[in-house]
Homo-oligomer: A and B are copies of this chain.
């Protein structure tokens, strides 16, 4: 015996595992144990832990020896429970060997079914079941799976031999092959395997078993699993469990079937039993999408009564419905289940928390609170904050003109437009060039995962709502249509035909993943209105959070949107975006190209009224809420265009020679603009620019306040690295502002603070705070300087870093711990001097849930994010507070 326990058995209503051992047994193993204990019909089996997988990757092959001491007795227990033995020709036990990680990775890792068959036991099976055709069909399936999964052959090799056999026999589908044909195929397969791999297919079922266990372990780190984990930000060190389970057969004739179901509709969240099934089939036939399955019942979209399981096998269906209720009551969440009916008898093969569309996620949470199944608090913690953001995904404008060329199953909602590509490789390549693409496939398989990640949306000709494409797309929240039967796809020619229309590679299509409609060209989209479910959920959110949520918005329109979404102020209003406006960019350039302060001041006089107008509109919209305005930040050359035409136009406008203007342009060019003459460095070298901006802000504030509104301006100085910078600029700001306010004979409280976005600012925050009323972390620049990485240039190595596991994720998406450490240091140093200092964050991270959790944990006052992320940020803030109070 090893000290660590590696094997957990289950069967006959008894199980050594439980649902909460998911990280040890994988989701599949844990839930099989749980269902066994619940008294549900589960074929007995055993699960090898993820610890064993991790040990395998650490220690290598030796671990398999260690495992034997535990697997062998568990196998014996399984043989007793089944009254059959591995390799016993008279009464053979067949098993499946399946992977199963703590976090579901559908189809990414390997599985072997029908293990235990060999030249002897196949005959035993034939006799026992009185169905030699079934026995030989199972054997040829084992040969196909085993040779590809364990022995490393390309799956196509045997698949082609199968196709050739069918052609030879003149049949269309596998099930039509005769017994003789199947027997011949088994021989052909065995020969081909030997020829291709130099090794014979192992006749010893134990050798088969250990080969399969090793293969599942190894499949944890195959390419598609790595890609999937990177895309889903799943850690690479979890490992997979291996579940060995007695086989049951959905392909044992017309009283057998297999299916996949959700306890509620995973797409809409509606409360009916939703699923698909196939008579006389094995599970992978449904999942792989090769045969288009039938609906479980009319609610699941069946077109004819007599296709449903409810009608065809009413007893099994009734039992399944009972299981559905048991599972939902027990797990208190919507479940995704797999079942097999073997000669009329129902077997449960899997249950797991069902993936769901964003809309369903909200609806399920809200409905289950209404049903008393879960609490409000649970509902809030269960909805992922990113889901709210996804719900803001664009949809097709109902009023937009469109040409619908086909209809399929709307498998994952949202609208997507892109250039059509026909292979995963092409998707990666085109997307790499910056082209939005739509991946069109007959069906998808795990090999397609890289291309699916890169695509705007996915469209398949085959498969149902639980096919690979549908499940993966829903998990990624990418629009997807499956089972679009009218598509005739010619991958070699890179074109598809649909009802007479030819669509070639690169042609633009739009799909509506909710409706299932395929449209020509690009079709106008709109942002959706939040649903009643969302409104209900949000009504709970604000009672729990401590963090305020503000928005980053530069225009009155964006401010309005954000306010509608519940923003409690503006955390970042960038004044430079206003500079690009057509009618003012000339004045801005004139200012930049001026020879001296007088020239700059003349140009700034033209810009002043325009900026004042902008601020006035914003202050009106934000009546009663704080508005943080950042003074000019980017290097001045960003406002110049270096095209010859622009230079000439500017020279004409200024009455200067083209050469003089071009020279000045060159003069302003910087080697590292990110680290150049920008931010407060501009304010100190050209104080007249900041002076104009402060003037515009305060004059607008005075005007709007006179209209009766409450204006709360917060003036923010960017890129401060040394306390003297802020000290001097604060003087400039208050000098300008106070004289305007006192002249206006009005009371207008305003504050002056700074962006903290340089390591030096964090380390010296105790001195900087002396001149600051507030801090706002600019985490984009802070991440750039802390890492020494330019966002503009990291494309050649950062994705690779994530891929190689150097970084757990992109630090520009979620706050890196070292950057977080600087935020903590700065907050502590600032508050040590001014305990009431208001501290917020306005970088991109302000709209990302893990970062929001971090901001909550270090005691920030607010986060600020783009308008459409405001609801998710509110939820994430509530979740952070709830998690804190429960820990």
Interface residues of A (CB under 8 A from B): 670-677, 681, 684-685, 719, 721-722, 724-725, 728, 757-760, 763-764, 781, 784-790, 792-794, 796-797, 800-801, 804-807, 816-819, 821-822
Contact = CB atoms under 8 A, between A and B. Distances in A.
26 contacts: A670-B793, A671-B790, A672-B672, A672-B793, A673-B793, A674-B788, A675-B784, A675-B789, A675-B790, A676-B790, A677-B796, A681-B797, A684-B797, A684-B800, A685-B796, A685-B800, A728-B804, A757-B788, A759-B759, A759-B786, A759-B788, A759-B822, A760-B788, A760-B819, A781-B788, A785-B786
Given A764-B818, A786-B785, A722 B806 contact: yes
B725 A806 contact: yes
Which 3 A-B residue pairings sit nearest by Cβ, starting from the closest?
A675-B790, A672-B790, A676-B793
A660 to B, nearest CB: 17
A860 B763 CA distance: 21
A92 B404 CA distance: 110
A801 B724 CA distance: 9
Contact of A804 (B684, B757, B790): B684
A256 B339 CA distance: 121
B805 A786 contact: no
Given A684-B801, A763-B822, A793-B677, A722 B807 contact: yes
A670 B807 contact: no
Contacts of A817: 764
Contacts of A757: 788
Nearest to A677: B796
Contacts of A819: 760
A537 to B, nearest CB: 38
Contacts of A681: 796-797
A776 to B, nearest CB: 16
A763 to B, nearest CB: 4
Given A721-B787, A806-B722, A671 B796 contact: no
A202 to B, nearest CB: 36
A656 to B, nearest CB: 21
Nearest to A820: B763
Nearest to A783: B760
A846 to B, nearest CB: 20
B758 A788 contact: yes
Contact of A677 (B785, B787, B797): B797
Decide if the interface of chain A is mainly helix, strand, loop or mixed. helix
A642 to B, nearest CB: 14
Nearest to A800: B685
Oligomer: number of copies: 2
Given A763-B821, A787-B721, A675 B758 contact: no
A598 to B, nearest CB: 19
Given A684-B806, A725-B806, A806-B725, A671 B760 contact: no
Nearest to A719: B788
Contact of A758 (B728, B758, B786, B806): B786
Nearest to A675: B790
A790 B670 contact: yes
A805 B817 CA distance: 35
A182 to B, nearest CB: 46
Contact of A672 (B673, B760, B797): B673
Nearest to A682: B797
Contacts of A764: 817-818
Given A675-B789, A724-B805, 13 more contacts: A670-B793, A672-B673, A674-B790, A676-B793, A684-B800, A684-B806, A719-B788, A722-B807, A725-B806, A760-B787, A760-B819, A763-B786, A785-B786
Contacts of A806: 684, 722, 724-725, 728
Nearest to A805: B724
A794 B793 CA distance: 21
Pick from A675, A676, A758, A790 the residue with the most CB of B within 10 Å: A675
Contacts of A816: 760
Contacts of A792: 670-672
Contacts of A670: 790, 792-793
Which of A684, A721, A725, A781 has the most CB atoms of chain B within a 10 A radius of its CB?
A721
A434 to B, nearest CB: 14
A671 B789 contact: no
Contacts of A801: 684, 722
A789 B801 CA distance: 26
Nearest to A670: B793
Contacts of A763: 786, 818, 821-822
- Centre residue among A672, A684, A785, A817 by max chain B CB count within 10 A: A672
A549 B643 CA distance: 52
A648 to B, nearest CB: 24
A733 to B, nearest CB: 16
A202 B757 CA distance: 57
Nearest to A679: B788
A267 B792 CA distance: 55
A762 to B, nearest CB: 9
Contacts of A725: 806
Contacts of A818: 759-760, 763-764
A231 to B, nearest CB: 20
A674, A763, A805 — most chain B CB neighbours (10 Å): A763
A828 to B, nearest CB: 14
A600 to B, nearest CB: 14
A397 to B, nearest CB: 36
Given A684-B800, A763-B822, A785-B788, A807 B724 contact: yes
A821 B721 CA distance: 14
A668 to B, nearest CB: 9
Nearest to A671: B792
Contacts of A685: 796-797, 800
Contacts of A671: 673-674, 790, 792-793
A797 B685 CA distance: 7
Contacts of A797: 677, 681, 684-685
Nearest to A817: B764
Which of A670, A785, A804, A816 has the most B CB atoms < 10 Å from its CB? A785
A203 to B, nearest CB: 41
Nearest to A764: B818
A676 B793 CA distance: 5
Contacts of A821: 763
A805 B728 CA distance: 10
A675 B759 contact: no
Nearest to A727: B806
A666 to B, nearest CB: 14
Nearest to A635: B793
A677 to B, nearest CB: 5
Given A758-B788, A800-B684, A818-B763, A675 B675 contact: yes
